[in-house]
Amino acid sequence: MFRLTIHTAFAAAHNLINYQGDCENLHGHNWKVEVSITTDELDKAGLGIDFKILKKETNNLLKTLDHKYLNELAPFSEISPSSENIARYLYHELTKIFGSDKVKVEMVTVWESDFAAASYYE
């Protein structure tokens, strides 16, 4: 089995819902995103998936979040746009693109700072 991982980032504003503290106020982060996929097969070039493709599709998805107020976006209209919920959202959206018998999204990790991250996997 092979695991391939890319790192990318986006910037956005949010406020946490049902949270008592500073983070209930509007604020922003420069989120770092780590996406890992697994595969047990390699193509003719010896690749599980081209890193360029994985990063391109991930960045296309992140463009829908970048420099936005996350609370106003459909995926977070009913739930708090926490790092946990962002990671779950990205996992499910990337699974629609990369989920197959050969390739599986293993985990998505969203870092809201250099010292705090949330991961989602199934």
At residue 49, the pLDDT reads 93
Question: Is 67 annotated as catalytic?
Answer: yes
At residue 100, the pLDDT reads 82
Question: Is 122 annotated as catalytic?
Answer: no
For the chain, give every domain's residue range.
2-120
The top-level CATH class assigned to 2-120 is: alpha beta
List pLDDT tens digits, range 58-105.
Answer: 999 999 999 999 999 999 999 999 999 999 999 999 999 997 888 999
One-letter amino acid at 79 equals I
Average pLDDT, the chain: 96
- Set 7, 24, 41, 67: catalytic member: 67
Element (H, E) at 58: helix 51-62
From the annotation, which residues make up the binding site for Zn(2+)? 14, 27, 29
Question: Is 23 annotated as catalytic?
Answer: yes
Q: How many other CB atoms are found less than 10 A from the CB of residue 22? A: 9
- Set 23, 57, 84, 92: catalytic member: 23
List pLDDT tens digits, range 2-42.
Answer: 999 999 999 999 999 999 999 899 999 999 999 999 999 99
Q: Is 106 helix (H, G, I), strand (E, B) or coil?
A: strand
Q: How far does CA 90 lie from the centroid of its chain? A: 4
d(CA 119, CA 35): 10
